[in-house]
Amino acid sequence: MVYEYDLIVIGGGAAGLTAAGMGANFGAKTLMIEADKLGGDCTWHGCIPSKTLLHVSKVSQTLTEAEKYGFQSGGVIDFSTVMEHIRNTRQEVYEEADDPEIYRNMGVEVKFGRASFVDSHSVIIKTQKGEEEISARYIIIATGSKPMVPPIPGLDDISYLTNETIFELEEQPESLGIIGAGPIGIEMAQAFQRLGTQVTVFDRLSRILSKDDKELAEMLQERLEKEDIDFKLSASVNRLSEIPCGNIKVETEINGKSSTWEGSEILVATGRTANYERLQLENAGIHYQKNGITVDDRCRTNKKHIYAVGDVTGRYQFTHMSEHMAKVAATNALLKIPMKIDENHVPWSTFTDPELAHVGATEKELQENGTSYKTYRFPYDKIDRAITEGATEGLIKIFAKKMTGKILGATIYGKQAGDLIGEYALAMRNGVTLRNMADTIYPYPTYGLGARRAADQWYIQSQSTWMVKLIKWLFGYRGTVPDLSDEDRII
């Protein structure tokens, strides 16, 4: 059968852009269909605006703390200018990386409209001008996700914010309630608090960032509490309503006790849900579940020529994983080279100040699986670069095999943790052990040197009293045998 295109990519976010670009690069006649604007959630409502806001809030915090370095502080924040800067930044990213002409110049045909399946090889594109039916040999679904709004009584009757609307604010809220203590909620909490909004965070769990290391997440929570963020955890949000003055009232139950909160705005940050309802997947016979389109480790659906990547699968809701899955799908579909999702080395980071990042197995997972491991710890207050910058709050934790130094997972709380975690992702992916890292020369003074010094702890803790005594005897050394009884000693 002759199809109009070799490849159709539905969706123009991070995953779709990657898949379409690869399709054109491999010589496939490629069409990318996008319902709104290229760039997707990351450019317009996620990574770019949120990290820009976090940067601005960090500048504000630095000005606030400037007196201890000898500067005089007292700047006033113009919130509308801040938000204009955020919107200008995402527009700049769009023009530099996501503009349709960039992809058309690559050889990708770009059409705007809403796509839905007619059958397993054909889709209809609906626009204000009408409908167009097209077909392709291969199809990659990359329609992303949208904010998940929980069924809280009264929520539909009030005006609330999500990550898709919060960056459109023109006036700074005097107070902001955030429902959800995951990465989005925690990042926005710190950003708005530092800009002068009083923030309260609600979550039904007893801790923030439940997927991260408990010890390090608690360290971050303590830091945020020192910045006057109010946490109401183990809280059931029972009802929301708008009171006569225009504020929002949140009725909760915490440990069996009822309480209320009133504030200017409420942000719902309770996660995201796969965006597939309008695709009419049943017309193509594509299997899906509530959390997303079902795919195997090659990103293939039950239809061997149809793939799904990124948030729409419900598997990983990270931009970097969306791009990774797009590469896996395009490689399998167009090159017939077997490639699987690297699910064992998925890094993530919450970009608060300090940052909290992780890769590989968590300590909880290792314990639940009965995996033998040892924890190697190295504090930021022993990283000279951190000392020079007054950023000594932090800790590196590595979970590894005692005998070989094989890295099973790593978690970092501290400055530039999101960058440092890449060291361990690369090491784990390529079989680099703690011994290999410890034997590598790192530049001084850098935060990266902290990764090497953390690896040094494998050598240190592999040392034993009998080994030192044997060395003394062999070479006739006259020093004392060090006390090696403390396995958590840091050198």
Alpha-carbon Rg for the chain in angstroms: 26
Q: In what order do the strands lie in the sheet with 230-232?
A: 230-232, 198-202, 175-179, 265-268
* Shared-domain flag, residues 173 and 293: no
* Shared-domain flag, residues 19 and 127: yes
* Shared-domain flag, residues 279 and 133: yes
* Shared-domain flag, residues 312 and 439: no
* Structural domain contains residue 288: yes
Q: What does the DSSP 8-state code read for residue 46?
A: S
Domain boundary among 309, 335, 361: 335
* Structural domain contains residue 254: yes
* Structural domain contains residue 90: no
* Shared-domain flag, residues 459 and 386: yes
Enclosing domain of residue 468 = 348-475
Cis peptide before 183 (omega within 30 of 0): no
* Shared-domain flag, residues 420 and 394: yes
* Structural domain contains residue 320: yes
* Shared-domain flag, residues 11 and 26: yes
* Structural domain contains residue 77: no
Per-residue pLDDT for 477 more than 70? yes
Element (H, E) at 387: helix 384-388
* Shared-domain flag, residues 192 and 208: yes
* Shared-domain flag, residues 262 and 283: no
Amino acid at 72: Q
* Shared-domain flag, residues 117 and 29: yes
* Shared-domain flag, residues 131 and 261: no
* Structural domain contains residue 245: yes
The answer to whether the CB of 186 falls within 8 A of the CB of 270 is no
- The pLDDT tens digits for 381-432 are 999 999 999 999 999 999 999 999 999 999 999 999 999 999 999 999 999 9
The answer to whether the CB of 412 falls within 8 A of the CB of 395 is yes
Per-residue pLDDT for 464 more than 90? no
The answer to whether the CB of 280 falls within 8 A of the CB of 117 is yes
Task: Specify the pLDDT at position 113.
Answer: 97
The answer to whether the CB of 254 falls within 8 A of the CB of 234 is yes
Task: Specify the pLDDT at position 73.
Answer: 64
- Helix runs in 227-371, H state only: 319-330, 363-368
The CATH code of the domain that includes 116 is: 3.50.50.60
The answer to whether the CB of 288 falls within 8 A of the CB of 282 is no
End-to-end CA distance of the chain: 68
The residue ranges of DSSP E strands in 83-216, in sequence order, are: 108-112, 114-117, 122-127, 130-141, 145-147, 175-179, 198-202
Per-residue pLDDT for 109 more than 70? yes
Per-residue confidence band for 74, with pLDDT thresholds at 50, 70 and 90: low
Per-residue confidence band for 282, with pLDDT thresholds at 50, 70 and 90: very high
Count of structural domains within the chain: 3
Per-residue confidence band for 75, with pLDDT thresholds at 50, 70 and 90: low
Q: What number is the average pLDDT over the span 254-260?
A: 93
The whole-chain average pLDDT of the chain stands at 95
Task: Specify the pLDDT at position 491.
Answer: 77
* Shared-domain flag, residues 278 and 239: no
Per-residue pLDDT for 67 more than 90? no
- The pLDDT tens digits for 114-159 are 999 999 999 999 998 899 999 999 999 999 999 999 999 999 999 9
Q: What number is the average pLDDT over the span 97-123?
A: 97
* Structural domain contains residue 89: no
Instruction: Name which of 11-25, 52-66, 110-124, 165-179 the model is least confident about.
Output: 52-66
Per-residue pLDDT for 438 more than 80? yes
Residue with tokens 């300090």: 354
The CATH code of the domain that includes 461 is: 3.30.390.30
Q: What does the DSSP 8-state code read for residue 271?
A: -
Per-residue pLDDT for 193 more than 70? yes
Q: What number is the average pLDDT over the span 282-310?
A: 97
* Structural domain contains residue 93: no
Residues linked to residue 374 through DSSP beta bridges, in sequence order: 400
Question: Strand 235-242 relative to strand 248-254: parallel, antiparallel, unpaired?
Answer: antiparallel
Q: What does the DSSP 8-state code read for residue 161?
A: B
Task: Specify the pLDDT at position 65.
Answer: 82
Per-residue pLDDT for 484 more than 90? no
Per-residue pLDDT for 485 more than 90? no
CA nearest neighbour of 352 among 173, 234, 225: 225
